[in-house]
Amino acid sequence: MAGEKSIPHSIATLDKVRGVALVRDIVGWGNTHMNSNPHQRFAHSLARAALCAGALCLSAANAQARPHDQEDLRSYMHGIEAVKGADGRFLIFISSSGIPPKGEDENGNWPHDIYLSKWGINDTRISPPTLFIQKPEAQEPVSVAQTTDGNVMLSFEDGWNTTNEVNQRYGVYDAKLRPIAPYPRDVATGGHSGHVAAAGKHFVVLYSEDWVNGGGVDDLGTGNGVYAKVFDSHGHLLSTSDVAPQRREWWPMIAGSSNRALLVWQQFVPDQTSANLKITVLDPETGKLSAHKILRSGLNYYTYKAKYIPLIDRFLVTGTTVNGKGFAYLINNDGKVSATLECMPATVRGADIVASENIAYTPSQDNRLLHLELTPSSIKLKAVQRSPLTWSYIGSLGLMRNPSSIHWISLTKNGVEETDFDLRNAVQPDRSDLCR
């Protein structure tokens, strides 16, 4: 683990936008650093394909649409997740290309390191970030999970010191971030696009391997398989599952309950500009997978997310179709669909889902926050509210301050932006929100 280096606070202003407090970074976080010998990003076609599908090359009806020739904002920051620390404050991990973010270098390479910030319910904003992992090449996007004993796993794609273009790597620490099985450790040589979740006392890392040229977004290609590895809470490998081996299926997302992990990924469909969204449920004790299911066809590539909702013991999956319509599903621990919301406002790639009791909150592409009311057998778009943040595809994170307030942190090319949502200011959805 890299020694933690304190970074000075940025200059910030506090605005009031539609009754919502907004803290906006002006000059990033402080002094920059540079990686030596930056590594060429893995499979440029992979990065550009993910970029186009994620936000820059969507349909004109999509609020996140951008021209093809605009820069990839992920080159500045990409990935933000959090877990609880030993003192009760949130530990927030961010992949960023320097402080402030500098973007790609003169050779087009990404030099991301992993930074740590903290936040508690009485804090106005996150703490000044410190370097947590610093190596040459890019370590991104960071994904984080925490087992029931408090241990924390970070996993991410890593271009440093590999025989392949990238490896999927991990490190395990306790709730005080003391090393248990510290980075760098390999999930898979040549692995990429991975995410981690905790299922009780197990960590599950879901990742892809390889790349197939042609097809997909702008004919740039697809991943070639989805795989899962189960670790104990100290980082020891327990089992490996070939979820969708050597197939044109990739970009895996994952969520964990107390004893299961929901695995979600996209499937290439020949001669189509959209994908299939697929799911299965993994039992980490046995390695057994439920039957694969195509949850949704006509998927807008890369635009989906999964979250476990403890109160109702269901997994929530949200996403957006190629036609710019959002959707939501509830999945039980056996992998069966228990509720469906066929149409709602389009969701945002890379955005968090926050659960409080039976309500889930997630950003929409028209710069609002959606309130989804959930029961084990129903999903309802209960309310919406405007956001002072302009959501993007490079990552955002919501943290509950109290039952009526969420603190939201959004990544931008200039650093982080933060706001508090007063959930009491939400309004009822209109007919178009309900697709009527």
Burial tier of 432 (Cβ tally within 10 Å: 0-12, 13-18, 19+): exposed
Token pair listed for 73: 């904002």
Average of per-residue pLDDT across 72-88: 98
63-72: buried (b, 16+ CB within 10 Å) or exposed (e) per residue?
bbebeeeeeb
SS3 content of the chain, % helix, strand, coil (to 5): 5, 50, 45
351 closest CA partner among 384, 395, 389? 395
For 298-313, write each residue's pLDDT tens digit: 999 999 999 999 999 9
Contact 360, 316 (CB under 8 A): yes
Q: Is the pLDDT of residue 392 over 70?
A: yes
Report pLDDT for 200. 98
Give the predicted TM-score (pTM) of the model: 0.88
As a whole number of angstroms, the distance between CA 81 and CA 144 comes to: 6
Confidence of residue 50 (pLDDT cuts 50, 70, 90): low
pLDDT over threshold 60, residue 54: no
CA nearest to 375, candidates 429, 423, 339, 337: 339
What's the whole-number mean pLDDT along residues 119-142?
Answer: 97
Distance, CA of 143 to CA of 149 (rounded, Å) = 18
In which region does residue 136 sit, left (phi positive, over 0), alpha (psi from -120 to 50) or beta (all else)? beta
Q: What is the pLDDT of residue 217?
A: 80
Task: Note the CATH architecture for domain 12-425.
Answer: 7 Propeller (2.130)
Query: Rounded CA gap, 6 and 382, in Å?
Result: 42
In whole angstroms, give the CA distance from residue 38 to residue 75.
Answer: 13
| 29 pLDDT higher than 50 | no
Q: How confident is the model at residue 71 (pLDDT cuts 50, 70, 90)?
A: confident
pLDDT-wise least confident of 55-59, 246-250, 391-395: 55-59
How far is 115 from 229, CA to CA, in rounded Å?
A: 25
Band (6; pLDDT cuts 50, 70, 90): very low
- Stretch (H or E) spanning 46: helix 44-51
412: Cα within 13 Å, side-chain hemisphere: 16
pLDDT in tens, 330-383: 999 999 999 999 999 999 999 999 999 999 999 999 999 999 999 999 999 999
Phi, psi of 410 (to 5 degrees): -120, 135
Residues 411 and 30: their CA atoms lie apart, in Å, by: 16
- DSSP three-state, residue 37: coil
Q: Is residue 371 within 8 Å of 384, Cβ to Cβ? A: yes
> What is the pLDDT at residue 69?
52
Q: How far is CA 274 from the centre of its chain?
A: 21
pLDDT higher than threshold 60 for residue 65: no
249 pLDDT exceeds 80? yes
What are the E-state strand segments in 257-414? 261-267, 275-282, 293-309, 314-321, 326-331, 337-344, 354-356, 359-364, 368-375, 378-386, 396-402, 405-412
pLDDT reported for residue 31? 33
Radius of gyration of the chain (CA): 20
The residues near 98 (Cβ < 8 Å, ≥ 6 apart) are: 32, 33, 34, 111, 113
pLDDT over threshold 60, residue 55:
no
Contact 21, 14 (CB under 8 A): yes
Question: DSSP assignment of 158-170, as one string?
Answer: E-SS-SSS-EEEE
Mean pLDDT value of segment 45-53: 50
pLDDT at 11 over 70: no
70 confidence band (pLDDT: 50, 70, 90): confident
